[in-house]
A and B are shown apart, each in its own frame.
Chain A
Amino acid sequence: MVREEEIHGLETHSEDLDDAAGLLARTASGDRRAFDEIVTRYGPVALRLAVRMAPDRQSAEDIAQEAMLRIWRRANEFDVRRARFTTWLYRIVVNLCIDLRRRPRPAPLPEDFDTIDAAAAAADNLEADERRAALLRAMDELSSGQRAALMLVYDEGLSGAEAAQVLGISAKAVERLLARARARLRELLLAGSRQSEDGT
């Protein structure tokens, strides 16, 4: 678990200083409009991240909501001159997702629950569905840390050093997480596709 307060003391970023600083300062003094602007502007980022890490959409929306509330409650604690606001947001969302994955999950639904009518499913779509299911399963197979590192570097375009700041680990540790994630996905995704190409 990474403490959100630890983000202080990192390098200065200038791109979102003016906007985020102003909005956060106003939010800290109780300005609801400023906070609504933060939710409007950064809510989609929180949702996008949460959707990629949470087990389902409802959990993802709950996480995004909780992340926004944390910003509301702790707006005065964050020094935007010392770190990028989005880095703080990433960290909050990733921590919430990791917390959620640590909690015991309810028993999965039975295999035949709400399945698509076999007659309705065209034969040519079957392979695509299987492939899609395999892709979804592969992402779920990754650990929270691996998934977070992959999401931050591959989807969000953060550098290894920036992802390290968000996760509170070294850049080397991020490299190791990425390498393990890729090795696991290679095993799951490419081995599967080679098998289907071979007709096995």
Chain B
Amino acid sequence: MMTLKRFRKLTDSYGADLRRWPERLRPQGRALLECSAQAQEIIARARELDEAIAAAASARSESLWAGDHPEEALVRLRNSVAARIGPAGAPAAVAAVAAKQRSRRSARGTLWRVRWVSLATAASVAILAGIALGMMYTPAATHQDFLTLLQPGPIQLLDD
């Protein structure tokens, strides 16, 4: 059984309408309300305040909407939101997706460029390495050999 202290505390927060109370505590609250005159008194006082609060909330809404209608406010809201977004507007999400796609395209382009440059560099290195190896393993011609090469050789046809 719920204590009167707990009942009062819940009423102080949620008011007299037990439908606002936490669901699991409602049956205990109803049970106490049925058998306790003090609980009924607490609810009666809370109901008085509930009505005053409802009147205050309603007075505030009426005061703010005086001379206007909420439906007109909705039309203004729709128009102003549409104007703020603009005809070419897109949510940040869409813009982000587009930016990501652009970034991916750009990254793909960069990748291709990098591949071509790498290939060209590798080919150049291979050619240079080939030239270097060729120079290293070919016996260098001496000065004498070089001159011999320049001398005309005997004509074989006359020897026969």
Contact = CB atoms under 8 A, between A and B. Distances in A.
A135 B60 contact: yes
A132 to B, nearest CB: 5
B73 to A, nearest CB: 6
A47 B73 contact: yes
Interface residues of A, number: 57
B23 A159 contact: yes
A23 interface: no
**Do most interface residues of chain A lie in helix, strand or loop, or is the interface mixed?**
helix
Given A44-B74, A182-B49, A76 B12 contact: no
Nearest to B94: A30
A61 B73 contact: yes
Contact of A75 (B15, B64, B81, B93): B93
Interface residues of B, number: 43
Contacts of A29: 93-94
B2 to A, nearest CB: 15
B120 interface: no
A114 interface: no
Interface string A9-37: 00000000000000000011110100110
A30 B88 CA distance: 10
Interface string A44-63: 10111001100011001100
Given A64-B73, A153-B20, A175-B9, 5 more contacts: A32-B82, A68-B81, A160-B22, A175-B10, A189-B52
Chain A to chain B: the 4 pairs with minimum beta-carbon distance, closest first: A76-B93, A135-B56, A178-B13, A189-B52
24 contacts: A27-B91, A30-B94, A32-B89, A43-B74, A43-B78, A44-B70, A51-B61, A52-B60, A57-B64, A61-B73, A61-B76, A74-B91, A74-B93, A136-B63, A139-B57, A139-B60, A150-B53, A154-B54, A159-B20, A160-B22, A175-B10, A185-B56, A189-B49, A189-B52
